[in-house]
Chains A and B, each alone.
Chain A
Amino acid sequence: MTDRLSLSTSITGRRRLAVAAGGAVGAIGRAAVIDVVDATRLDLLWSTFLVNALGSLVLGYVVARHAGRSHSSPFLIPFVGVGILGAFTTFSLFSTEVLELARAGDWLLAIGYPAGSIAVGFLAALLGVRFGGSK
């Protein structure tokens, strides 16, 4: 029992807790974006595109500003970076969307959607890293 207690209060245990709490926030945030996009009757591809671009921008900033910095809380990257932003963005849904577009024979989108997501996601992450790294 004391072992279990000491495990849950260790740095590792508290980091895991921060990741889990952030993961809940990120997943709910993504679901909220899906709901909003759904309500506007836009194609749901837009919700995935949006969360992935936005999450890449903010994660770039957070990593450049806080990763390995002594002035930052040791729980900031686990909570915000790994938890919230990791869970807010998604690769599994992205992959199945591309697969479904290809299966439907919609080649324009089957190529354009992943190309656009990756180009915008990369530029967003780059922008975030530049902002976060500047003094």
Chain B
Amino acid sequence: MTWVVIGAFGALGALARYGVSGAVQRLWRTTFPVGTLVVNLTGALGAGLLLGVAVGRDIPDLVLLGAGVGFLGGYSTFSTWMVETVLAAESGGGAGLRRAAENLAIPLIAGVALAGLGLTIGQWF
């Protein structure tokens, strides 16, 4: 049962990522991988929220597994972030390396900050 729930919510998460990152990348005409950035930052915010809401509450394991491990895990992505950074680094010279460094630092710092914000907001509920 657990596996079915994780699989189903993982499918939904991946589908949501495909839709959101494609739409953001089309709207924001830039070579910076902003689609993956928006997906990962909203995923980090969502994970913080879930964690905050779960503190001191008796939320069923299946709900946490479905929403956290399934949906948010399937929605956010680490591998795409890394491969896009490698492609930026290989796009040429100092400018490419600078873009790769930006693409590592911005999501990392903003992701942890947004997870913290989500945790704080989640605990109000």
A30 vs B13: C-alpha distance in the bound complex, in angstroms? 14
Chain B at the A interface: SS class: helix
Q: Chain A residue with minimal CB distance to B73?
A: A90
Cβ contact within 8 Å between A95 and B111: yes
Q: How far is the CA of A96 from the CA of B48 in the complex (A)?
A: 6
**Closest approach, in angstroms, between the C-beta of B121 and any C-beta of chain A?**
13
Partner among B18, B68, B90 whose Cβ is within 8 Å of the Cβ of A78: B18
Instruction: Find out whether the CB atom of B85 lies under 8 angstroms from the CB atom of A92.
Output: no
Do B48 and A99 touch (CB < 8 A)?
yes
Assembled-state Cα–Cα distance A99/B24 (Å): 26
Chain A interface: which size bin?
35 or more
Query: B79 at interface (Cβ–Cβ under 8 A)?
Result: yes
CB distance from B83 to the nearest CB of A (A): 5
Q: Which residues of A contact B77 (CB under 8 A)?
A: 85-87, 89-91
Residue numbers of B with Cβ under 8 A of A are 2-3, 6-15, 17-18, 40, 43-44, 46-48, 51, 65, 68-70, 72-83, 85-87, 89-90, 104, 107-108, 111-112, 114-116, 119
Q: Give me the interface of A with B, judged by CB distance under 8 Å.
A: 16, 19-28, 30-31, 34, 51-52, 55-56, 58-60, 63, 78, 82-83, 85-96, 98-99, 102, 114, 117-118, 121-122, 124-126, 128-129
